[in-house]
Homo-oligomer: A and B are copies of this chain.
Amino acid sequence: MRYELYYWPSIQGRGEFVRLALEQAGADYRDVARGSGTPGMERMLSWHSATPPFAPPFLKAGKLVIGQTANILLYLGEHHALAPRTEAGRLWTHQIQLTIADLVGEVHDGHHPISGSLYYADQKAAARKRTHALLTERVPKFLRYFEAILHANRSPHGAFLVGRRVSYADLSLFQVVDGLCYAFPKASAHYRKKSPRVHALAKEVAARPRIAAYLASERRIAFNRDGIFRHYPELDQVIYAR
């Protein structure tokens, strides 16, 4: 079965978490809007299917149309061994993914604290305040959490978030680290010291053959100022007390 991924063709965005899982799975998929633009995607959003998504990304898998990033990963995790098969392992992986999703939402709202319909330039003052809280309180709290999970799960087989194999949550955590490094290079230099296991995992994920090939390919869209992780130098200015 050839999957069809529907997502905005010019950004990594939330679609990237799905792309990484599809790439690691070696799945056959078409990134629809990158080939034929967004009309097809917009048609799907307007009740073309019985289970229309609220927003991209969504995945067409045979007759299924699955929306919500974490839900798509839940599906791919089960079908491509990107999560444990046990109920406990499946729920735990999904729990971590939903926590990553919360962080991603907070990162987005750092540059759009008032409204997604306004330009960044029109909410710059609030963005500066929100990003300060994001970089000094929230990101460190999330990274401490992931660091602690990796610490608790350490094994001679490598350090994954769940069990002894790579899961979709590991791929997503790589994406978060990569995005933070792009958007906030100064803050990230600090985070790297504070959460070495998280950063080691990100490095390991990036080096996996299928992911490395993907990252080097044209399929990987470069980070830019339309996505979730955006580099505005004026937002990467915080003093770290510790």
Number of copies: 2
Quick check: is A133 within 8 A (CB to CB) of the other chain? yes
Pick the residue among B64, B70, B115, B130 that contacts A129 (CB under 8 A): B115
CB within 8 Å for A54 and B99 given contacts A114-B130, A133-B115: yes
Residue A71 is within 8 A (CB to CB) of chain B in the complex: yes
The answer to whether residues A68 and B133 also contact, given A50-B152, A92-B51, A126-B126 and a CB cut-off of 8 A, is: no
| Contact status B133-A54, CB under 8 Å | no
Find out whether the CB atom of B91 lies under 8 angstroms from the CB atom of A75: yes
Say whether A74 faces chain B, with CB atoms less than 8 Å apart.
Answer: yes
Q: Does A179 contact B (CB under 8 A)?
A: no
Q: Which residues of B contact A140 (CB under 8 A)?
A: none
Interface class of chain A by DSSP: helix
**Contact across chains for B114 and A126 when beta carbons are under 8 A apart:** yes
Q: Does A15 contact B (CB under 8 A)?
A: no
In the assembled complex, the Cα of A39 lies from the Cα of B115 at a distance in Å of 37
Other than A47-B152, A64-B88, A68-B98, give 16 A-B pairs with Cβ distance below 8 A: A47-B148, A53-B95, A54-B99, A64-B87, A66-B95, A67-B99, A68-B99, A74-B91, A113-B113, A114-B126, A114-B129, A114-B130, A115-B133, A117-B137, A118-B133, A123-B129
Partner-B contacts on A (CB < 8 A): 47, 50-54, 63-64, 66-68, 70-71, 74-75, 87-88, 91-92, 94-95, 98-99, 102, 105, 109, 113-115, 117-118, 123, 126, 129-130, 133, 137, 142, 145, 148-149, 152
